[in-house]
């Protein structure tokens, strides 16, 4: 081989080594690149509107509204304690390629990630690590499962007891998904908006003149999981959510609240509603979710009332149900879209499994 030819090939090989990232296939698996990603929580909710609407017709509920706003301040807020960031392959079996966890403690934050140049499906989840008031970790209610692959990644609240009862969520949970194409030699910035995936409701019970001894409340009819790849909920079983009593500075009303995944929605019909309000809906023919109220009377007997709600409860939504407790422990709803069934002298404890 001539000397000039040998020199040419040496130069070509060195050039390929220096610019190798530009010569590999579309995956560019061996080339890393700084990627700037901005994360922002977007809270869309009707909580203020719902409370104002109810107060306009029943001003005595003012202490209830004040107590609920305090009780749900960590739920309906665009503030994230933690964020889980996953990056998946868009080819083959959507396996996870990169994962990071950060303590965010803000409503928006920016991260610079050093990841290989290629195309990804990015999934982000915020607020899976609840904390106690003193900042220490609290028990988790919702878990990220199946995240080794994008199409199996989901949030789920498992039932770990024979009573089929789960606790209410303590924080608002947010998620996002975004296709990302990380390119070589280009400064890129991605904006990721996270939206709320759970919701809340409350029942305000007027106990004036009822003489009841105690009240226990549960709720049911909600999804028990959320698929992150396509933002859909699933309803494999129907657990009961243990409602938390809200401390109302009033001797007349008692209030119970649950935070959970959404209910089923109204089945589609030929009627089309064009609206910017994501919480406007037709009333369903049957109840979509329920409150089960167990009132113990002075003689120790228990009255069960099941309040069936015919409006869906959607992600980010808050719904307040007003009702009156009668002397026999039965509960009469004030809302036209809520039905009631009553069982006097009820002697069993809640914990049955309702079929979907």
The answer as to CATH 2.60.40.2100 being correct for domain 33-343 is yes
**Residue 322 scores a pLDDT above 50:** yes
DSSP for 98-113, please give it: EEEEEEEEESEEEEEE
Q: Taking each helix axis from N to C terminus, what angle separates 62-71 and 47-57, rounded to the nearest 10 degrees?
A: 160
Residues of the chain above pLDDT 70, percent? 86
Q: Please name the residue ranges forming H helices in the chain.
A: 3-18, 47-57, 62-71
Q: Which residues contact 222 (CB under 8 A, 6 or more apart)?
A: 238, 239, 241, 260, 261, 262, 263, 289, 313
**pLDDT tier for residue 19 given thresholds of 50, 70 and 90:** very low
Higher-scoring residue by pLDDT: 167, 250: 167
Measured CA distances, 219 to 65, 111, 174 (Å): 20, 39, 22
Most confident segment among 32-36, 147-151, 279-283:
147-151
Higher-scoring residue by pLDDT: 267, 275: 267
- Read off the pLDDT of residues 247-256 as tens digits, 9 standing for 90 and up: 998 889 999 9
**pLDDT tier for residue 274 given thresholds of 50, 70 and 90:** low
Task: Give the residue from 91, 143, 144 showing the smallest Cα distance to 121.
Answer: 91
The pTM score is 0.86
**Residue 178 scores a pLDDT above 90:** yes
Per-residue pLDDT at 182: 93
Of 27-36, 165-174, 272-281, 305-314, the least confident: 27-36
Alpha carbons 104 and 119: distance in angstroms, whole number = 25
**pLDDT tier for residue 34 given thresholds of 50, 70 and 90:** confident
Alpha carbons 22 and 8: distance in angstroms, whole number = 20
Q: Mean pLDDT in the chain?
A: 87
**pLDDT tier for residue 20 given thresholds of 50, 70 and 90:** very low
Mean pLDDT of 310-314: 96
Of 136-140, 232-236, 267-271, the least confident: 267-271
**Residue 37 scores a pLDDT above 60:** yes
Alpha carbons 137 and 129: distance in angstroms, whole number = 7
- Read off the pLDDT of residues 115-149 as tens digits, 9 standing for 90 and up: 899 999 999 999 999 988 888 889 999 999 999 99
- Read off the pLDDT of residues 180-214 as tens digits, 9 standing for 90 and up: 999 988 888 999 999 999 999 999 999 999 989 99
**Residue 171 scores a pLDDT above 50:** yes
């Amino acid at each position: 081989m001539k000397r000039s030819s040998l020199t040419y090939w040496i130069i070509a090989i060195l050039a390929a080594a220096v610019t190798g990232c530009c010569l590999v296939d579309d995956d560019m698996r061996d080339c890393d690149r700084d990627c700037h990603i901005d994360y922002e929580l977007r809270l869309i909710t009707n909580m203020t509107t719902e409370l104002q609407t109810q107060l306009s017709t029943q001003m005595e509920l003012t202490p209830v509204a004040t107590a609920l706003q305090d009780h749900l301040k960590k739920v309906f807020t665009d503030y994230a304690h933690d964020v889980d960031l996953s990056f998946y392959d868009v080819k083959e079996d959507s396996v996870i390629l990169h994962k990071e966890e950060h303590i965010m403690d803000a409503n928006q934050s920016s991260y610079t990630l050093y990841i290989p140049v290629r195309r990804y499906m990015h999934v982000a989840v915020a607020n899976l690590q609840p904390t106690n008031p003193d900042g220490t970790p609290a028990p988790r209610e919702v878990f990220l499962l199946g995240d080794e692959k994008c199409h199996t990644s989901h949030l789920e609240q498992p039932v770990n007891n024979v009573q089929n009862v789960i606790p209410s969520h303590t924080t608002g949970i947010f998620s996002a998904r975004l296709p990302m194409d990380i390119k070589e030699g280009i400064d890129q910035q991605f904006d990721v908006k996270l939206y709320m995936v759970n919701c809340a409701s409350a029942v305000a019970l007027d106990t004036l003149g009822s003489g009841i001894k105690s009240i226990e409340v549960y709720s049911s009819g909600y999804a028990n999981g959320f698929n992150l790849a396509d933002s859909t909920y699933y309803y494999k079983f129907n657990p009961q959510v243990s409602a938390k009593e809200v401390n109302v500075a009033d001797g007349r009303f008692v209030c119970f609240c649950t935070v959970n995944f959404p209910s089923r929605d109204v089945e589609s019909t030929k009627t089309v509603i064009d609206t910017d309000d994501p919480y406007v809906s037709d009333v369903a023919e049957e109840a979509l979710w329920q409150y089960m109220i167990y009132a113990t009377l002075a003689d120790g007997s228990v009255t069960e009332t099941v309040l069936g709600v015919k409006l869906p409860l959607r992600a980010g939504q808050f719904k307040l149900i007003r009702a009156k407790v009668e002397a026999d422990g039965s509960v009469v709803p004030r809302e036209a879209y809520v039905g009631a069934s009553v069982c006097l002298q009820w002697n069993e404890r809640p914990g049955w499994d309702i079929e979907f």
